[in-house]
Amino acid sequence: MAVYPVTHPLIRHKVTMLRDPKTNSKDFRDIVTELSTFLAYEATKDLPLTNITINGWQGTPIDVQIVEEKDPSIVPVFRAGIGMQEGFLKVIPTARISYIGYYRDETTLQPKNYYAKLAEDVQERRNYILDPMLATGGTTSAVCTLLREAGVKDIKVLCILAAPEGIRRVAEDHPDVDIIPAVIDSHLNERGYIIPGLGDAGDRLFGTR
Ligand code: URA
């Protein structure tokens, strides 16, 4: 597994804006969209290029390159992952969308899947899991397992903040999955919140509490 934190100063700046409790939901959503666009660029920089020949502006053949892949599938994890969808789609507008939902079983404390509608031929596509907060890693690991069971080979996780605990969990359970966090934070508190973090990303995005 590889972790690719994005080191650009604008990423730091925008994450700082998200951490500020004075940032309202509309601005929070806009910033998450911008950050998701950056993350999508980073996550797709290994796409293979195919050489082709086209007729250029002078009417003569020129050798150029294109990305000739089946459209990827993005996997926004309910609820907060929805906030990252638009930003990713600015980079690859034709991406398929595989929605997945989990809740936490109050008895076992394990993530339980309640919704999954995967893209057609999902196993032939690159899959990008979108979830702004990689906290304990329990849900992300479960999403990876679900995708693996569907035959998916290529999985990357895009998140705004990651806790070291979550990175370790995904690395142990799914060593071949890459993680692209905007920022890696310090640790989790006793309630599973990322510290320093930004609070509940779903509530901040959608104005709930
Ligand atoms: N989910 C959130 O929204 N925030 C956290 O800090 C951890 C998980």
The predicted-structure confidence for 116-161, as pLDDT tens digits, reads as follows 999 999 999 999 999 999 999 999 999 999 999 999 999 999 999 9
Nearest CA to ligand 1 atom 3: 200
Query: Strands 73-76 and 96-97, how do they pair?
Result: parallel
Q: Which residues contact 207 (CB under 8 A, 6 or more apart)?
A: 25
CA 100, 105, 180, 51 dihedral sign is negative
Residue 148 is a catalytic residue: no
pTM of the model: 0.96
Active site residue 200: yes
Alpha-carbon distance 131 to 48, whole Å? 25
- Is the CB of 194 inside a 6 Å radius of any atom of ligand 1? yes
Could you report how far apart the first and last alpha carbons of the chain are, in Å?
A: 35
Ligand 1 within 6 A of CB of 198 = no
Of 7, 46, 104, 168, the active-site residue reads: 104
Ligand 1 centroid distance, CA of 84 (Å): 15
Spell out the residues 6+ positions from residue 24 whose beta carbon is closer than 8 angstroms to its own.
none
